[in-house]
Amino acid sequence: MSLKLRKLSHGLGAEICDINIAAPMSESAFGEIHRAFLDNGVLLFRNQNITREQHIEFSRRFGELDDHAAFPSDRHPQYPQLMLVTNEPQPDGTPSVSRYTGRRWHTDMSHTLEPSLGSLLRCWKIPGVGGDTMFANMTLAYEALSPGMQKLISKLHAIHFSGGRKLDNTIADQAHAAEQKRLSPPLAHPVVRVHPETGRKAIYLGEKVKRFDGMSEAESQPLIEYLNNHATKPEFVYRHQWHENDILLWDNRCTMHIALADFDQNERRHMERTTVMGTPSGYVVAIA
């Protein structure tokens, strides 16, 4: 198979055109997709009118899947390998707890000791306008820093907090936040991580990070803000406008992303994500 690729932006991302990811696929055909994944950081598969089982099955080719035990209330009731990102109300009529998922720059599962390798998000329902997702290429962002800054941040570990999610003051939201805090103590990861497959260095940060290990928030914030702003400059970013049945695959080891609130919240937006597990990283931080 020879893949038909279309670049999505200068900074990252490519569409794999004319493909059905649920069709039988040889190891060598999958190898081409895997190569494109490593080269582009984000891959788009359009028009994937497939079943949940097929979404899960294709995702498994990239590695072991998370059962989302760290997000029990966000799991699909029948498929623990699928995490919901939806504003569809719950069966009892209360708001969905995942309606604000991803509204800050982040990489998936950075609040765990096995942060994710990659995620595959499938779009089931999208508002008439907006509901976009943005991605940043953290390898390019790292490589654009001066040697002095690269050296400085290579010594730092950043503390990643779970539950950086926007909340309303509802009982369900508050209970969800408390549960997340209990399940996920703060962890520190290196600010510069080496991609295990490409060997390239990337910044590993985001807006869930409040401070560096061994430093106060006031001391850390200016540098965190600088690095997050630097990494999200237009030249490192791709903004995805969703169509129903898009599947977007991203590499959590060298990109970060944000779900935008740029849509009418009364309209329905429903996504389902598989999460491919990564390799061990970081350590638990004792916080007084």
Ligand X SMILES: O=C(O)CCC(=O)C(=O)O
**Least CB distance from residue 250 to ligand X, whole Å?**
9
Residue 84 binds ligand X, judged by CB under 6 A: no
Q: How far apart are CA 57 and CA 51, in angstroms?
A: 10
Residue 102 binds ligand X, judged by CB under 6 A: yes
Q: How far apart are CA 209 and CA 34, in angstroms?
A: 30
**Least CB distance from residue 70 to ligand X, whole Å?**
12
Q: With CB under 6 A, what is the number of residues at the site for ligand X?
A: 11
- Which of 188, 205, 247, 271 binds ligand X (CB under 6 A)? It is 271
β-strands 270-276, 83-86: how paired? antiparallel
Residue 121 binds ligand X, judged by CB under 6 A: yes
**Least CB distance from residue 85 to ligand X, whole Å?**
4
Stretch that binds ligand X, among 12-20, 47-55, 101-109, 204-212 (CB under 6 A): 101-109
Beta partners for residue 238, in sequence order: 135
Stretch that binds ligand X, among 49-57, 67-75, 100-108, 154-162 (CB under 6 A): 100-108
Q: How far apart are CA 95 and CA 100, in angstroms?
A: 11
Which residue number, 14 or 121, has a Cβ lying nearer to ligand X?
121
Residue 87 binds ligand X, judged by CB under 6 A: no
Q: How far apart are CA 48 and CA 57, in angstroms?
A: 13
Judge whether 261 and 47 are in contact, CB under 8 Å.
Answer: no
Which residue number, 87 or 220, has a Cβ lying nearer to ligand X?
87
Residue 101 binds ligand X, judged by CB under 6 A: yes
Judge residue 203's burial from the number of C-beta atoms within 10 Å of its C-beta, 0-12 exposed, 13-18 middle, 19 or more buried.
Answer: buried
Q: How far apart are CA 195 and CA 210, in angstroms?
A: 23
Residue 251 binds ligand X, judged by CB under 6 A: no
User: What residues numbered 131-170 form the site for ligand X, per CB under 6 A?
Assistant: 133
Residue nearest to ligand X (CB): 102
Which residue number, 121 or 277, has a Cβ lying nearer to ligand X?
121
- Which of 211, 253, 257, 270 binds ligand X (CB under 6 A)? It is 257
Residue 85 binds ligand X, judged by CB under 6 A: yes
CB contact set of 107 (below 8 Å; sequence gap of 6+): 115, 116, 204, 206, 252, 253, 255, 256, 257
CB contact set of 114 (below 8 Å; sequence gap of 6+): 277, 278, 279, 280, 281
Which residue number, 116 or 139, has a Cβ lying nearer to ligand X?
116
Starting at the edge strand found earlier in the chain, the sheet holding 157-160 runs 209-212, 157-160, 187-190, 283-284
Q: How far apart are CA 127 and CA 214, in angstroms?
A: 44
- Which of 14, 120, 159, 259 binds ligand X (CB under 6 A)? It is 259
List residues binding ligand X (CB under 6 A): 85, 101-102, 108, 119, 121, 133, 257, 259, 271, 273
